[in-house]
Amino acid sequence: MIYPTLFHVYSNSIDTYSDRPAFSLYEGETVTYGIFAQRVESVQSFLLSAGLQKGDKVALLSTNMPNWNVCYFAAVSLGMVIVPILPDFSGEAISSILEHSGSKALCVSDKLYAKIPHEAREKMELVIRTVSLTVIGGKKMHAEGVPAERSVPEPNDLAAIIYTSGTTSSPKGVMLSHKALCNQLHMVQTLIEVFPEDVFLSILPLSHTYECSLGMLYPFMEGASVVYLGVPPTPTSMLPALKSVQPTFMLTVPLIMEKIYTRQIFARFTSNKVMKILYKVRFIRRMLHRIAGKRLYHTFGGRMRFFGIGGSKLNRATEKFLRDARFPYSIGYGLTETAPLIAGAVHPDTYLQSTGRVMKGIEIRLQDMDPKTGVGEIQVKTPCVMDGYYMNPEADKEAFTDDGWFRTRDLGKMDKTGRIFIKGRLSNMIVGSTGENIYPEDIESILNQHELVTESLVLQKEGKLVALVYLQDLKDDLREQISEVYNDIMNYVNSKVGKMSRISGIHEHENEFEKTPTLKIKRYLYTDILKRKNK
């Protein structure tokens, strides 16, 4: 069933699953669907008493907690527009978003309240503390007039404006309608079913569409429960939660699983010369991976049936491990602008380095395809596409083709069965000296498989490819032979790529690269860094 609006999703779940647990905080409170409804009513009364009406903007700046969802549904089920703000944004960026969106109310958690400039807080009609759901400020804090009338949204009404951080420097407000989000929920149903007995462990920010749509709206629609970790996802914080919660569903990003593989699995199996030799033998490596996979499945609670990975491309070596291990990983591809999923593959139907086939109801084409490689820009027509960028008509023109296709600006190709293979971002593609297209993400994926490389970026300098690498915890003896280390890394990657994709130099980056909330490197910050090196 396709619900017409999020109001209908909300109403049905509250009526159907009243006594079931909806959301909880690990080692904290559990909120049933019935209690959730009471809290939504309370926040709605604050909003209406302050005079907010259908179409007014309500900003939401909070860490993950059940009351984040309360504020979300309180706004959208009244036809107001929710404006989720990523907690990692600076105070200046938050202030700019509040101003640009025209938000009249702000729901904010305690730690993030201090980030908001005083002038921005003073402009709000209402400020609600998410932890306690109490009014703590705003011009209408003590409003005693006649409350605004309740409204019910229509399918084409705007539901959310999501300001992306992405890997580019300028955030843009993506406008998603009720219809787009509800169509997305129906599409996800065709990919993987969720049942009331399912338990999600949530570790990604709710202010990102990936977690909000698939990890909050979808389980809520189906009567399942979601547990929020409540702290950043590190091995120390996640392990006891996994053991206690025993989730059946998790959504994550590639970097989390890549770190588990590199630092625990690969490091253990290459800890000495004998193990290194044995690990290079394919059938032995598969056997070791299978053993490690059983342990990993148990570590993740022993009930996992959907471990979703999205947000960026998964490292090839890590995916090979997951396949050998028979770990129930699934892959998705999408963008905030498409609410988000465009394609997906669910275990056991995943295929190495593919993001799966396009979702039912979506059309796809590859524009300006390279006849030699079959790679072109992925463009789609989807009922989940955004209405545009808020108050940014110039960006809208760039986002859509003249014949109405949405430009993902991702480069990809498709095989005969319709599987999609992402090659990288159009803006990242490097044109080689003889005109060939080079995809730095492919080279970085190989670089990151080297035992000493934690993260990397491949950039062009004076017509040649060079790699910027972060080498974590490099031992003193290797640090003394750093030139040899660089040569080893360079020889490693160049032996595995084509002639035109070989790198000519290695430069070390002393710290982890700065990342987006979905742990993609903010590439734009480093495009000029090599020009400043060695000056």
pLDDT tens digits, residue range 159-205? 999 998 644 456 699 999 999 999 999 999 999 999 999 999 999 99
CATH number for the segment(s) 253-427: 3.40.50.12780
Tokens representing residue 402 in the block: 């003249």
Q: Which residue do the tokens 């609600």 mark?
A: 128
Closest CA to 176 of 208, 152, 215, 151: 208
The overall longest dimension of the chain from CA atoms, in Å, is: 78
At 519, the pLDDT band (50, 70, 90 cuts) reads confident
CA distance 131 to 85: 16
CA distance 362 to 376: 18
The top-level CATH class assigned to 6-177 is alpha beta
498 or 338: whose pLDDT is higher?
A: 338
Determine the pLDDT at residue 359.
97
Determine the pLDDT at residue 167.
44
State the chain's mean pLDDT as an integer: 93
Residue 119: HSE in the Cβ half-sphere, 13 Å Cα cutoff:
6
**Type of residue numbered 75:** A
Pairing of strands 388-389, 173-177: antiparallel
Say what percent of the chain tops pLDDT 70: 97
Is the pLDDT at 464 greater than 80? The verdict is yes
Pick the CATH number of 429-532 from 3.30.565.10, 3.30.300.30, 3.40.605.10, 3.10.20.740: 3.30.300.30
200 or 372: whose pLDDT is higher?
A: 200
Is the pLDDT at 256 greater than 60? The verdict is yes
Per-residue pLDDT tens digits for 386-403: 999 999 999 999 999 999
Is the pLDDT at 444 greater than 50? The verdict is yes
Is the pLDDT at 70 greater than 70? The verdict is yes
Per-residue pLDDT tens digits for 45-59: 999 999 999 999 999
Closest CA to 161 of 99, 217, 93, 82: 82
Determine the pLDDT at residue 312.
85
Determine the pLDDT at residue 311.
86
Q: Which residue do the tokens 């598969």 mark?
A: 286
Give the domain ranges of the chain. Answer: 6-177, 253-427, 429-532
CA distance 241 to 229: 7
**What would the mean pLDDT of 416-432 be, rounded to a whole number?**
92
253-427 and 429-532 agree in CATH topology: no
Mean pLDDT lowest for which of 16-20, 276-280, 358-362, 366-370? 276-280
CA distances from 404 to 363, 396, 399 (A): 12, 11, 10
- Residues 384 and 181: beta-carbon distance below 8 Å: yes
Per-residue pLDDT tens digits for 472-500: 778 888 888 899 999 999 999 999 988 88
- Residues 489 and 446: beta-carbon distance below 8 Å: no
Under 8 Å CB-to-CB from 67, ≥6 apart: which residues? 39, 130, 131, 133
Determine the pLDDT at residue 350.
97
**What would the mean pLDDT of 286-292 be, rounded to a whole number?**
96
11 or 475: whose pLDDT is higher?
A: 11
In residues, how long is the chain? 535
Per-residue pLDDT tens digits for 129-164: 999 999 999 998 877 777 889 999 999 999 999 998
